[in-house]
């Protein structure tokens, strides 16, 4: 069906490329035909309005779907793979979400902060966007109107943190305060404020919340999670590989989602991981982890253009997101009849198991890739057996 679709207008030169991109992402012939018919309507609509590819912004797409109605293409999400391809080759402008109500000066300010986080701090683009979102939300509590950086002072910053503390739970508050500190450093480093205001941000009181509850995941439970996957299906083999990676290597969900085929060095038996702060870390690849990944690659992973190691189980095939990795763990808990946990609890399991086996806290920190021993110590403090393993005998007594 897609082969017979005639595309006229500004999108005509990209017809074959769009069809190939849809096929590479696993779309069936019938579905490709539907999407190409939508592309044909969109291209004709753009031409009638005197618009070109450079005008194909998110707002224009939403306007198109306001007049284009089909049961199989109801929202702009139907066009997402097409726009991803066109943006990838530079045919249409990149998507950029701008919060409603931003002035031109604010747009420039927050875009500069985002670039500073990436270029100077080495943060990932997604993390930088989150810093912008949290910092802007916090600063707006100082001034509900246009943000005037020159008017920021110590009392205003303190008031913003207090307002955030009243409305945000502990974990979210810590993330917001971290983003605010980065924003204030950015303002001073770029000459937007005469004095460093980061000192006005009060420390967040560390309460018992910093001591995580005992992990509800035992080694036996972890085996149940893995066994719950149906290895007769491609999705089951993928989920086994993901769970084995989490339970053996203690990776974070975004680290699992970010793995690529090139990160697995089969000859050396190593796995390269893009960790926090842009650090590239190399981990040993245990035999059971390698076997699970190999089983997925040979009999589970769809043939797609993407170099992501773990891809979605249904079309459009593409890299898994951190939320997708979290969902794999939650669904495994449901199948195994266990309380729902996430990748972080599996990471905690690896830490406590390693401590119980006689490893030192330094070795656990290296395994978790923590740069600060006190962070790794949180895992030990939460587990009495692990603490006992770390305790030194009192001089003059025998253990």
The question of whether 238 is a catalytic residue gets the answer no
241 lies in some domain:
yes
The listed range with the strongest mean pLDDT (160-174, 244-258, 368-382, 384-398) is 244-258
Same domain, 243 and 329: yes
Q: For residue 1, is pLDDT > 80?
A: no
Question: Final residue of a domain: which of 330, 345, 360?
Answer: 345
Same domain, 293 and 323: yes
In a domain, 311, yes or no: yes
Whether residues 276 and 187 share a domain: the answer is: no
Task: Tell me: do 227 and 273 sit in the same domain.
Answer: yes
Hey, which residues does 101 pair with through a beta bridge? Answer: none
279 falls in which pLDDT band (50, 70, 90)? confident
Question: Using one digit for the tens of pLDDT, what is the confidence trace for 345-387?
Answer: 888 888 777 777 776 777 777 777 776 666 666 655 555 555 5
180 part of a folded domain: yes
Q: What is the CATH number of the domain that holds 266?
A: 1.10.443.10
> Is 212 within a domain?
no
Regarding whether 339 and 258 lie in a shared domain, the answer is yes
Of 238, 347, 348, 369, catalytic = 347
- Has 370 been annotated as catalytic? yes
Using the Cα atoms of residue 350, residue 354, residue 356 and residue 360 in order, give the sign of their dihedral. negative
Q: So what's the pLDDT on residue 161?
A: 85
Q: Is there a domain that residue 285 lies in?
A: yes
In this structure, are 241 and 326 located in the same domain? yes
299 assigned to some structural domain: yes
- Indicate the number of domains in the chain: 3
Choose one of 53, 88, 123: the last residue of a domain. Answer: 88
Percent of the chain scored above 90 by pLDDT? 22
Answer yes or no: 252 catalytic. yes
pLDDT the model gives residue 208 = 41
Does the residue 182 lie in any domain? yes
pLDDT in tens, 174-195: 888 899 999 999 998 998 888 8
Same domain, 22 and 58: yes
69 Ramachandran zone, left/alpha/beta (phi>0; psi -120 to 50): beta
Instruction: Judge if 285 and 231 occupy the same domain.
Output: yes
Residue 228 and residue 176 share a domain: no
Average pLDDT of the residues in 34-44: 89
Which of 172, 118, 160, 104 lies closest to 136 in space, CA to CA? 160
| Domain assignment of residue 74, yes or no | yes
| Residue of 276, 330, 335, 356 marked catalytic | 276
344 included as an active-site residue: yes
Q: Are 234 and 313 in contact (CB under 8 A)?
A: yes
For the whole prediction, is pTM greater than 0.85? no
- Active-site hit among 121, 140, 174, 344: 344
pLDDT at 398: 54
Q: Are residues 233 and 331 in the same domain?
A: yes
282 in the same domain as 237: yes
Domain of 323, in residue numbers: 219-345
> Among residues 345, 362, 389, which one ends one of the domains?
345
**pLDDT for residue 102:** 67
Q: Where is average pLDDT lowest: 211-220, 231-240, 291-300, 350-359?
A: 211-220
For residue 83, count CB atoms less than 10 angstroms from its CB and return exposed for 0-12, middle for 13-18, buried for 19 or more. Answer: middle
CATH code, domain with 170: 1.10.150
Residue 6: which residues within 8 A CB-CB, separation 6 or more? Answer: 40
Q: Are residues 320 and 233 in the same domain?
A: yes
Which one is catalytic: 252, 301, 312, 369?
252
């Amino acid at each position: 069906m897609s082969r017979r679709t005639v595309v006229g207008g500004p999108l005509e030169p990209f017809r074959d490329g769009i069809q190939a991109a849809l096929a590479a992402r696993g779309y069936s012939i019938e579905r490709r035909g539907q999407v190409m018919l939508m592309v044909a309507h969109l291209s004709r609509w753009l031409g009638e309005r005197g618009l070109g590819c450079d005008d194909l912004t998110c707002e224009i797409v939403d306007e198109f779907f306001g007049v284009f109605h089909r049961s199989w293409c109801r929202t702009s999400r139907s066009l997402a793979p097409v726009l991803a391809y066109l943006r990838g080759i530079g045919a249409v402008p990149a998507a950029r979400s701008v919060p409603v109500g931003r002035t031109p000066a604010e747009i420039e300010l927050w875009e500069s902060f985002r670039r500073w986080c990436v270029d100077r701090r080495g943060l990932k683009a997604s993390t930088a966007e989150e810093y912008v979102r949290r910092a802007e939300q916090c600063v707006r509590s100082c001034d509900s109107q246009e943000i005037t950086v020159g008017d920021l002072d110590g009392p205003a910053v303190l008031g913003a943190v207090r307002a955030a503390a009243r409305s945000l739970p502990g974990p979210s508050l810590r993330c917001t305060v971290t983003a605010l500190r980065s924003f204030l450093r950015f303002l001073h480093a770029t000459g937007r404020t005469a004095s460093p205001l980061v000192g006005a941000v009060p420390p967040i009181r560390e309460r018992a919340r910093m001591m995580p509850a005992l992990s509800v995941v035992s080694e036996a439970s972890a085996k149940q999670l893995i066994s719950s996957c149906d290895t007769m299906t491609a999705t089951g083999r993928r989920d086994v590989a993901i769970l084995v990676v989490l339970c053996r290597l203690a990776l974070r969900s975004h680290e699992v989602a970010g793995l690529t085929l090139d990160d697995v060095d089969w000859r050396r038996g190593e796995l390269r991981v893009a960790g926090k702060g842009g650090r590239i870390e190399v981990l040993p690849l245990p035999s059971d982890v390698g076997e699970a990944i190999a089983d997925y690659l040979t009999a589970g992973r769809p043939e797609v253009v993407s170099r992501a190691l773990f891809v979605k189980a249904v079309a459009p095939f593409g890299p898994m997101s951190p939320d997708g990795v979290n969902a794999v763990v939650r669904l495994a808990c449901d199948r195994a009849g266990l309380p729902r946990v996430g990748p972080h609890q599996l990471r905690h399991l690896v830490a406590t198991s390693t401590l119980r086996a006689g490893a030192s806290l330094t070795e656990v920190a290296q395994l978790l890739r923590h740069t600060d021993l006190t962070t790794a110590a949180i895992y030990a403090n939460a587990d009495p057996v692990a603490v006992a393993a770390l305790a030194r005998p009192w001089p003059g007594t025998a253990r």
